[in-house]
Amino acid sequence: MAEKNILFAFRGEPLCFVHVLLNALDLAEQGRGGQIVIEGEAVKLVGEMSRPDHFLNALYRQVREKGLIVAVCKACSAKMKATAAVEAEGLPLVGHIAGHPAMSHYLAAGYRIITF
């Protein structure tokens, strides 16, 4: 069975999130998962990174093209007024538990969770 890693990104600082994107791509390239769940303040970055002039846009597009973003927190997107940007990007809004993605969902599927 292949190793499965999923990155839960909570922090909304672009200089932190760059490591999420880089590590997701690296893990995926190695066949070790690399899926991303965007939570907390990080949901605000979706709208920012989708702009062509944003310094993370190229990495973000690579991650998007590989389908590595598997969930964006529904509750946090609403709270941070990011729902429209997430929907415009076609990313899945997920809310297993009280509007938030459940880590237990991914653990049950055999993922190892890494948080940022």
pLDDT at 2: 80
pLDDT of 116 higher than 90? yes
Q: CB within 8 A of 14, min separation 6: which ones?
A: 45, 48, 49, 55, 56
pLDDT digits (tens, 9 = 90+) for 13-49: 999 999 999 999 999 999 999 999 999 999 999 999 9
Return mean pLDDT, the chain. 97
DSSP state of 70: E
pLDDT at 1: 55
pLDDT at 115: 97
Q: What is the pTM of this model?
A: 0.96
Q: Tell me the mean pLDDT in the region 76-80.
A: 98
Name the token pair of 110.
């055999």
Nearest to 60 by CA among 80, 81, 42, 40: 42
pLDDT digits (tens, 9 = 90+) for 24-34: 999 999 999 99
At 32 the three-state DSSP class reads coil
Q: Which long-range contacts (CB under 8 A, 24 or more apart) does 77-82 make?
A: 77/43, 80/41, 80/43, 80/44, 82/43, 82/44, 82/46, 82/47
Confidence of residue 67 (pLDDT cuts 50, 70, 90): very high
